[in-house]
């Protein structure tokens, strides 16, 4: 039993460290020479990367943030080989452990130890983590997110509505609708998304929230940096 507690604690710590990988910060500094946290909404996440540096920068950031959340939760499955869980008992505790891994990964993204505890909102990491818990429900929420985004062009609004639909889909799901820990988890996720988007809510109410048009080309900071480089003389470049 002591070994089980030690293993579980280690997995939660690993989940936090995985979540703390600041992909947006590292990619921004490595390939564009900027700290993404000093531009746009000042969040180290996919949406701000898309807004500031464009799709080419945003796509790998989303992929990495999604992956670190997914891996952080799926590694918890290794504890199934522990004798405490091997016989199928303590199923609720196993769910709770996975939920703790979800929160650890998201907290790591919001407060990354590798980037001065200044991260993003954790949406992509949250999506990847929850995908590791129940993929069908995430796909339903993604459908809601995409629909709202196409209609309103507000990523923040789409994320909040998709997050709030998660408890609804959970309650009507025949697979997890009876699982109390999962139901509680789904409601906490919705509240967490609303909390991390509180500044976006203020901008939406004030009518100052930026819109995102995925298929429409837009001028980005990356374009400006490229233009500045092209405008420099050969001596300045060297």
The full DSSP string for 103-163 is HHHHHHHHS-GGGTT-----HHHHHHHHHHH-HHHHHHHHHHHHHHHHHH--HHHHHHHHH
> Is a pLDDT exceeding 60 seen at residue 181?
yes
The CA distance from 79 to 168, in Å, is: 29
The CA distance from 214 to 218, in Å, is: 9
Rounded to the nearest 10°, the torsion over CA 45, 111, 156, 189 is 130
The full DSSP string for 171-220 is HH-TTTTT-HHHHHHHHHHHHHHHHHTHHHHHHHHHT-PPP--TTS----
CA atoms within 13 A on the CB side of 233: 2
Q: What is the pLDDT of residue 73?
A: 93
pLDDT digits (tens, 9 = 90+) for 32-72: 999 999 998 889 999 999 889 988 999 999 999 999 999 99
Domain ranges, ordered by start, for the chain: 1-133, 134-217
pTM, 2 dp = 0.84
Q: Which of 133, 235, 142 is nearest to 188 (CA)?
A: 133
pLDDT digits (tens, 9 = 90+) for 147-173: 999 999 999 999 999 999 999 999 999
Q: Which of 85, 81, 62, 78 is nearest to 15 (CA)?
A: 78
pLDDT digits (tens, 9 = 90+) for 63-112: 999 999 999 999 888 777 666 665 555 667 778 888 999 999 999 999 99
CB within 8 Å of 225: residues ≥ 6 apart:
32, 33, 34
Tallying the residues shown for the chain, one arrives at 238
The CA distance from 164 to 9, in Å, is: 29
pLDDT digits (tens, 9 = 90+) for 201-211: 999 999 999 88
């Amino acid at each position: 039993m002591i070994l089980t507690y030690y293993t579980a604690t280690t997995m939660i710590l690993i989940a936090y460290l995985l979540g703390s990988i600041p992909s947006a910060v590292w990619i921004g500094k490595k390939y564009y020479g900027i700290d993404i946290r000093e531009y746009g909404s000042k969040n180290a996440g996919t949406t701000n990367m898309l807004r500031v540096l464009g799709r080419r920068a945003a796509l790998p950031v989303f992929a990495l943030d999604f992956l670190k959340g997914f891996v952080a939760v799926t590694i918890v499955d290794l504890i199934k080989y522990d004798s405490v869980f091997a016989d199928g008992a303590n199923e609720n505790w196993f769910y709770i452990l996975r939920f703790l891994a979800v929160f650890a990964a998201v907290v790591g993204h919001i407060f990354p130890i590798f980037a001065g505890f200044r991260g993003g909102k954790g949406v992509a990491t949250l999506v990847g983590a929850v995908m590791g818990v129940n993929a069908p429900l995430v796909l339903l929420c993604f459908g809601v997110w995409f629909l709202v985004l196409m209609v309103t062009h507000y990523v923040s609004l789409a994320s909040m509505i998709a997050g709030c639909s998660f408890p609804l889909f959970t309650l009507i799901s025949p697979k997890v609708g009876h699982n109390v820990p999962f139901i509680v988890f789904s409601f906490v996720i919705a509240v967490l998304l609303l909390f991390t988007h509180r500044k976006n809510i203020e901008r939406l109410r004030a009518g100052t929230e930026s819109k995102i048009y995925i298929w429409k080309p837009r001028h980005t900071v990356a374009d400006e940096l490229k233009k500045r480089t092209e405008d420099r003389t050969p001596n300045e470049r060297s």
